[in-house]
A and B are shown apart, each in its own frame.
Chain A
């Protein structure tokens, strides 16, 4: 079974530029999560989707961050414009199926560097 797929794996941009990250969850998983992981820290939830609905986006900085999951499968996270402090790893995770909602499986992440 394929795991959570993310692309790109690495992205380097200059501040004020836009950037987008893509995630394809495990097949059959209805719940998709985007996390932010700063260096030396655990992941912190940005947004959670149940199918195509964003059910928890309370931690998403909505002035510059946006996300979508139009067909309830793939998802895109966008930052516009990027700031220096956005440099971090952006992780996508999914859950669902027989393992249950609490058992989340992570992708490899996208490491963003903002110069």
Chain B
């Protein structure tokens, strides 16, 4: 199974900051990489698919990039509602796999 390694596992930031989360795949997955946001007690929410395409309704302060094995999620101008846990997911092949998650906390 393809392994996804996310870093950092947690990050503290202030309102208005810009943060970047990385996701590295154990093998090439083209651009078959999605990003999800999860808040406590809620189901994950799709933010970005195909590495860099913003899902409808997601604010433009979220952006994604990368292909092959290295991917990034960037959140600019952090807002209070952005503090959550973020996961990458590869759907290049089965079994689909998630990164271990990055918890974004308020500094």
Partners in one complex: no
Residues of B within 8 A of A (CB): none
